[in-house]
Amino acid sequence: MADREAHVIVSGRVQGVWFRASTKEAADRVGARGWVRNLPDGRVEALIQGSEEQVRAVIDFMKVGPPGARVEDIQVVWKEPDQVYDSFSITYA
């Protein structure tokens, strides 16, 4: 089965609450690849790759986030990967 990819934007209280680190932990737990980063406008952006089950598991985590986070909106766009990542990392905008 081919890998899937989701581009995710999360808004709400998602910076300064360990959202990126917790998302990386969730991705590492299920073996997903890609990246997560803070955006200058206060949102968090992620690109998640893996099987559909792996990607959905990370998205499900991001819908709630870590303690202290308050997710107000999450936008998910599914597409075919155009670049393959080896691991999941925290990057910077």
The 10s digit of each residue's pLDDT in 7-40 is 999 999 999 999 999 999 999 999 999 999 999 9
Catalytic-residue membership of 20:
yes
Q: Are strands 33-38 and 88-90 parallel, antiparallel or unpaired?
A: parallel
Domains contained in the chain, CATH given: 4-84 (3.30.70.100)
Q: Among the options 20, 29, 43, 56, which is catalytic?
A: 20
The whole-number average pLDDT for the span 65-69 is 96
Which pTM value belongs to this model? 0.95
Catalytic-residue membership of 37:
no
